[in-house]
C-alpha cells in the first residue's frame, strides 16, 4: 500500500483534503491525523472491522482499548450509558482539550474498541483538523497514537511516516503537535476520580475543578505481578527508543555529577552516549550528544519536546540515553510517566 502525506496549510482552502480523508474513513480505512496531543491513527469507532485495521497497522495488543474522539459534546450521549455530574463539569472546563474521560459504555460501542471492557474512553481534541475530520465523517473516530506499538508516539507527520509507511493509505500533515504528550486519562467510574495516565490537563488543574483527585499508583511505578490494572495500556512497555534509557534522580548537582560519571564510563566502553538535559544544565556536560528539553520551570515546554528528543537520539544512533529526573508537579508528572516507561523503570537515585 502506498502511503500519501497531504499537508493542510489552510483549513478553508484545503477542505477537499479533509473530504478525501473522511471518504477513506467512511470506506472503513485507517487515516493518520494531527491532534494537539500526538498524531492519531483513526477509523470509524462504530465499525469493528475498521477498528481491527488500527490494531493491525500498529501491532497493538487486542486487550489495549482505544480512545473515541468526538467533535461535539452531544456526540457523547449515544456512546455512554450514564453521564456523571462531574463529567459534565469537566467537559465544560477542558473540552476541547487533552482530557480523556472514562464513561460506562452504551451497547453501540463495539467491544473491539473497548477491549471488552464495559467502559469507554472519550475525548474531544483541540485541533481544527481533527475536529473538521470528525465532523465530516459524521461519526466518532477511534484513534490511538499513530506509532508502531511500543514505539515513541509521533508529534509530526514525518514521525508517523517513519512508523506507518506502507501500512495506511493517508497521513494528514497538520504540523507539530502543541502539547506533544498524550491526553490525561481520568476514570470517573469510582467515587473519587483517578488519573490513570497523566497528560496535558494536570492533576493541579483537575483538583481546582473537582476537589479531591487521586493518581493511580502505577503512574510512576511498574505494575506488580498479578495486580489488575484499570488502564490496560499501563502494563505495556512504551515510548521506547532503540537506545537504552537510564534516569538519574536526586538533587540537581548530584544528577549532573552522576550523569557525567556515567557518560565517561559508557563512552570508555565504546558506547555512543546521549544526554537528555535541561536549559539549566546543558553547559555542565562534558561529553555525549546533549539534547535540551527546555527550562525546568516550563514543564509544558519540556513535555512538548520529549518525544521528538527521544526520536532524535535514535536518528543519531546513540546506544544509551542518560536522562535527568524533573520535578513531577504540573506537566512534570506526565513527562516522568513517559520517561520511566521509556527507561523500563531504570532509575538511579543519587
| Contacts to ligand AMP by CB under 6 A | 64-67, 102, 114, 117, 119-121, 144-145, 182, 185, 196-197, 230-233
Residue 46 C-beta-side C-alpha neighbours within 13 Å: 16
Question: What burial letters (b/e) apply to 82-119, b meaning 16+ CB within 10 Å?
Answer: eeeeebeebbeebbbbbbbbbbebeeebbebbbbebeb
What whole-number distance in Å separates Cα of residue 66 and Cα of residue 234? 13
What whole-number distance in Å separates Cα of residue 36 and Cα of residue 46? 23
Nearer to Mg ion, 145 or 328 (CB): 145
Q: Does 145 bind Mg ion (CB under 5 A)?
A: yes
CB of 261 to ligand AMP, least distance (A): 35
Q: Which residue is nearest to ligand AMP (CB)?
A: 233
Q: Does 218 bind Mg ion (CB under 5 A)?
A: no
Nearer to ligand AMP, 67 or 322 (CB): 67
Nearer to ligand AMP, 236 or 285 (CB): 236
**Interface stretch with Mg ion, choices 73-81, 104-112, 141-149, 221-229 (CB under 5 A):** 141-149
Residue 231 binding target from Mg ion, ligand AMP, none, CB below 5 to 8 Å by type? ligand AMP
CB of 187 to Mg ion, least distance (A): 18
What whole-number distance in Å separates Cα of residue 200 and Cα of residue 26? 30
Residue 185 binding target from ligand AMP, Mg ion, none, CB below 5 to 8 Å by type? ligand AMP
Nearer to ligand AMP, 132 or 197 (CB): 197
Residue 241 binding target from ligand AMP, Mg ion, none, CB below 5 to 8 Å by type? none
CB of 141 to ligand AMP, least distance (A): 12
CB of 83 to ligand AMP, least distance (A): 16
Q: Where are the alpha helices (DSSP H) in the chain?
A: 15-26, 48-58, 85-94, 111-114, 128-137, 157-164, 203-210, 252-268, 299-315, 332-342
C-alpha cell at 230: 484499570
Q: Where are the alpha helices (DSSP H) in 237-315?
A: 252-268, 299-315
CB of 300 to Mg ion, least distance (A): 20
CB of 189 to ligand AMP, least distance (A): 8
CB of 112 to ligand AMP, least distance (A): 12
Question: What burial letters (b/e) apply to 123-155, b meaning 16+ CB within 10 Å?
Answer: bbbbbebbbbbbebbebbbbbbbbbbbebbbbb
Nearer to ligand AMP, 67 or 246 (CB): 67
Nearer to ligand AMP, 258 or 338 (CB): 338
What whole-number distance in Å separates Cα of residue 343 and Cα of residue 306? 13
Q: Is the peptide bond before 96 cis (omega within 30 degrees of 0)?
A: yes
Identify the bridge partners of residue 321 per DSSP, sorted by sequence position.
245, 274
Q: Does 155 bind Mg ion (CB under 5 A)?
A: no
C-alpha cell at 192: 473519587
Residues that bind Mg ion (CB under 5 A): 145
Amino acid at each position: 500500500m502506498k502511503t500519501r502525506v497531504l499537508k493542510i496549510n489552510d483549513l478553508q482552502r484545503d477542505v477537499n483534503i479533509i473530504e478525501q480523508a473522511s471518504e477513506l474513513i467512511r470506506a472503513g480505512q485507517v487515516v493518520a491525523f494531527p491532534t494537539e496531543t500526538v498524531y492519531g491513527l483513526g477509523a470509524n469507532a462504530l465499525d469493528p472491522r475498521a477498528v481491527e485495521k488500527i490494531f493491525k497497522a500498529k501491532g497493538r495488543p487486542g486487550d489495549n482499548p482505544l480512545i473515541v474522539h468526538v467533535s461535539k459534546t452531544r456526540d457523547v450521549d449515544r456512546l455512554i450509558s450514564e453521564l456523571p455530574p462531574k463529567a459534565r463539569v469537566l467537559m465544560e472546563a477542558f473540552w476541547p482539550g487533552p482530557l480523556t474521560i472514562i464513561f460506562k459504555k452504551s451497547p453501540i460501542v463495539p467491544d473491539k474498541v473497548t477491549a471488552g471492557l464495559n467502559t469507554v474512553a472519550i475525548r474531544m481534541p483541540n485541533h481544527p483538523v481533527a475536529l473538521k475530520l470528525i465532523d465530516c465523517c459524521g461519526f466518532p473516530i477511534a484513534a490511538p497514537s499513530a506509532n508502531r506499538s511500543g514505539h515513541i508516539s509521533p508529534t509530526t507527520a514525518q514521525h508517523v511516516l517513519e512508523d506507518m509507511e506502507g501500512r495506511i493509505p493517508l497521513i494528514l500533515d497538520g504540523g507539530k503537535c502543541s502539547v506533544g504528550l498524550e491526553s490525561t486519562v481520568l476514570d470517573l467510574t469510582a467515587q473519587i476520580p483517578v488519573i490513570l495516565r497523566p497528560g496535558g490537563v494536570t492533576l493541579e488543574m483537575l483538583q481546582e475543578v473537582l476537589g479531591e483527585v487521586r493518581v493511580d499508583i502505577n503512574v510512576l511505578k511498574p505494575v506488580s505481578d498479578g495486580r489488575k490494572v484499570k488502564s490496560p495500556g499501563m502494563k505495556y512497555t512504551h515510548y521506547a527508543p532503540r537506545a537504552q534509557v537510564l534516569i538519574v534522580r536526586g538533587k540537581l548537582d548530584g544528577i549532573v555529577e552522576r550523569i557525567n560519571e556515567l557518560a565517561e564510563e559508557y563512552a570508555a566502553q565504546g558506547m555512543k552516549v546521549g544526554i537528555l538535559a535541561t536549559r539549566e544544565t546543558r553547559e555542565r556536560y562534558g561529553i555525549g550528544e546533549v539534547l535540551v528539553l527546555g527550562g525546568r520551570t516550563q514543564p509544558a515546554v519540556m513535555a512538548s519536546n520529549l518525544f521528538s528528543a527521544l526520536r532524535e537520539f535514535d536518528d543519531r544512533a546513540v546506544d544509551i540515553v542518560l536522562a535527568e529526573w524533573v520535578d513531577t508537579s504540573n506537566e512534570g508528572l506526565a513527562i516522568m510517566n513517559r520517561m520511566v516507561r521509556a527507561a523500563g523503570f531504570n532509575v538511579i537515585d543519587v
